[in-house]
Structure 1
Amino acid sequence: MTSIESSGGQGGQLAEMNGFENPGLPEHKPRITDSSPTAERLAERQIAAWFIVSMIGTIWFIVAYFLFPVGDSGALVRIHTMAVGLGATAALAGIGIGIILWAKTLVTDAEIVEERHDMGGTEEDQAIALEILNQAKDESGIARRSLIRNTLIAAVAIAPLPAILVFRDLGPLPGDKLFQTLWGPGIRLCKDIGMIPEQSQIMPIRAADVTIGSAFHVIPENLRDSGHPLDEKAKAAVLLMRADPNELNTDPDRESWGVDGIVAYSKVCTHVGCPVALYEHQTHHLLCPCHQSTFDVTNHCKVIFGPAKRPLPQLPIAVDDEGYLVAQSDFTEPVGPTFWEINTRETNA
């Protein structure tokens, strides 16, 4: 049982708990900025400098956005991403580091103990709350440290500007563009090799090379000739897998869509469009790494877990006279997130 002994006065109370006495608060050790005005001014300038770094990062993000436009080349995409990424990093890190330095060097660091009291809305409690806010203002120095205050306000004020450019890049909804991809009758399925489509090797896949348990990331043979290889690859990307035909629960109207257990499905998740890239051949599950939507290959990639609302679209495939896998047609339903399809249906209606 806990016992509490009082030795006179709030500051002299000692709590004895299970035989151990409360040691009280440790002795406060002042920092150099607490006793040296020179160190205090230096710390203030360092904090303001970080806020200025944040502003420079924001401005660089905007400049880099226009200076390095995104083209159809993968190299241009990487340069653009690196340039605007550096700006965003400086913008956010500058504010974060500045605030941390402020708290570490200038905000009062003395430890205090406040007794818990009943919450209420009386005028007295409101006055106490206002006093606490004023005390926090005084301890932080935000009222009297105009250099820090002004640079922080400026950095925070312009920090949202890059978001406007990012939202602008989202553009309009795709409309009926997701109903059409590069796949069509006789288009060969090729291995997806290389990050840059125009430099990728075109390697058609033979049905005999697809073994049970294997999976291939596939692109259409005519990707290079599309004029917009990055955009078209994003829509036409396919996962090709082979399972034991006896393990596939094939619908009667889709019996001709596969080749001896070889099936192909869109790689674009029907949740928010992330690339479905993880195949577990023992369970025949496809996993989207973004939000863990899981699709069952043995049941036409129906959703068995996660936020996705519809199965992955299946690409009908066949074998040509030379033994290569080819598409029978385009997808029979739109690829991509379900909300895009719903929007398109409403628009067309």
Structure 2
Amino acid sequence: MANEEDKSDMAHEHDTQAVEKAYRPSPGLAVAVDDPVKNPGLPPHRARITDKDPQANRRAVRTIYTLFYVSVAASIWAVAAYMLFPIEGDNATMSAIRNNNLFIGLGIAFALLAIGIGAIHWSKAIMSDKEFVEERHTTRGSEPTRAAAVKAFADANEESGFGRRKMIRNSLFAALAASIIPGITLFRNLAPNDGKDPVQLLNETMWEKGERLVLDPEGTPVKASDVTLGSAFHIIPESLASLSHSDGYLEEKAKAIVLLVRLLPEQLTESEERKDWSYDGIVAYSKVCTHVGCPVALYEQQTHHLLCPCHQSQFDVSDHAKVVFGPAARPLPQLPITVDDEGYLVAKSGFTEPVGPSFWERH
């Protein structure tokens, strides 16, 4: 019995020694106890070629302001392309629109790209790249703090060379200023420029009495019996379907597009003057959002709400398309409709108010 106990103790001692050996640090291995990790400091600074070679520095400076002037030229080209490839009147063909978008887009893209590459090259090759450590300190608005802030700006100006490298600075200002010009130029097409009042233009659509409602873009006339409960149809005037692009198809469609929805007649809340604007629960509203003109095309059958995907304005179809949520300022204009002798849906008249955004002065 004693021999067995001795053997057991020897085995336990052997296992303990094995474990200690396994976890014993190997020779030369440093073991951290209580000593904190020392700050290794910043690595040695490596001078760039532009720091060592004055000619390389001058080449980099020339490259930077050349890129900025390339940006100016690209911005000017974008404006020139707007004039060289017009898309108004008889020039409103698909080829002209494609070329207009392509060359204006290329001009704007190169203008912004040249500014970006020039700014990056400036920071990589010319600006000071010496590393420094900024110690944390408590934030306070004392005079020394203000003086330090002024000094920081002065140091940044000195390190970047912004104040003394006039060619780079002036070319950057020119590039930034020129990059805005194409956008300003494109504002010209936000509304037709034929001398008419914008409110009057948006009050004149191709809808008139007797105009049939047809599907967009097929041009198929719609019967009242085809409009099922809870359905929504994208509608244009029948006369618009035969209009060519050169005759202003896109411009007229942008104003005349309509959404047709059918509800149960008892679900409609209608004022006395609009009792006959719907037909058997079928209502037609302008598809152009009254916020900024996005297409209102998302219909929720359960809530009877129309949703604008751009800024989430919601309109209640069952109650004069009034605004129930979002930034839109007024309800969607309603198109009065009825049926003709053949059962096709037709307009009783045009819109009685301007369609589209509400940011113009309306009378």
TM-score (norm 2): 0.76
The whole-number CA distance in structure 2 between the counterparts of 1:46 and 1:148 is 10
Pick the aligned partner of 1:116 from 128, 137, 146. Answer: 137
1:156 to 167, 173, 176: 176
Q: Could you tell me which residue of structure 1 aligns to residue 86 of structure 2?
A: 69
Shift of 1:41: 5.1
In the other structure, the counterpart of 1:99 is 119
1:24-103 matches, within 5 Å, as 27=43, 30=46, 32-33=48-49, 37=53, 40=57, 43-72=60-89, 73=92, 75=94, 76-103=96-123
Q: Is the 8 A contact 1:292 1:306 kept in 2?
A: yes
Counterparts of 1:186 and 1:106, CA distance in 2: 72
Residue aligned with 1:304, SS: strand
Match 1:176 to one of 194, 197, 200? 200
Over the matched positions of the two proteins, sequence identity in percent amounts to 50
Q: Please list the CA deviations of residues 280-300 of structure 1 after superposition, one character each: whole Å capped at 9, or x if unmatched.
A: 223222111222111111222
Amino acid at match of 1:60: W
Which of 199, 202, 211 matches 1:187?
Answer: 211
**Maintained 8 Å contact 1:243/1:262:** yes
Partner of 2:186: 166
The 5 A counterparts of 1:246-325 are: 246-325=266-345
1:221, distance to aligned residue in structure 2 (A):
1.2
* Gap runs ≥5 in structure 2: 1-34
Corresponding position of 1:13: none
**30-39 vs 47-56, which deviates more?**
30-39
Find the partner of 1:205 among 222, 247, 253: 222
Aligned equivalent of 1:198: none
Question: Judging changes above 3 Å, is the alpha-carbon distance between structure 1 residues 92 and 319 closer, same or farther for their aligned structure 2 residues?
Answer: same
Partners in 1 of 2:137 and 2:358 — Cα distance?
51
Q: For residues 247 and 26 of structure 1, do their structure 2 counterparts lie closer, same or farther at Cα, with a shift above 3 Å needed?
A: farther
Distance 1:253 1:344, change over 3 A: closer
TM-score, with normalisation over the residues of structure 1? 0.78
Q: CA-to-partner distance for each residue in 1:51-80, whole Å, 9 max, x for gaps?
A: 233122201111101101122435133432
- The Cα of 1:206 is off from its aligned counterpart by 2.4
Moved more, 134-143 or 306-315: 134-143
Counterpart amino acid of 2:133? I
Answering whether residue 240 of structure 2 is matched by residue 220 of structure 1, we say no
Deviation sequence 1:159-196 (CA, Å, 0-9, x none): 33324423444457513333332111110112222xxx
TM-superposition CA deviations, 1:19-55 (whole Å, max 9, x none): 9868576536637456553765555454334323312
Partner of 1:137: 157
Bigger CA radius of gyration:
2
Residues 271 and 43 of structure 1: CA distance in aligned 2, closer, same or farther (over 3 Å)? same
1: distance between equivalents of 2:67 and 2:210?
A: 59
Alpha carbons of 1:176 and 1:28: their partners in 2 closer, same or farther (altered >3 Å)?
farther
User: SS of the counterpart of 1:204?
Assistant: coil
Contact 1:25 1:111 in 2 (8 A): no
Q: 1:232 to 1:20 in 2, by over 3 A?
A: farther
Q: Where does structure 1 lack aligned partners over 5 or more consecutive residues?
A: 1-18, 194-200
Distance in 2, matches of 1:253 and 1:96, equals: 59
CA distance in 1, matches of 2:38, 2:78: 53
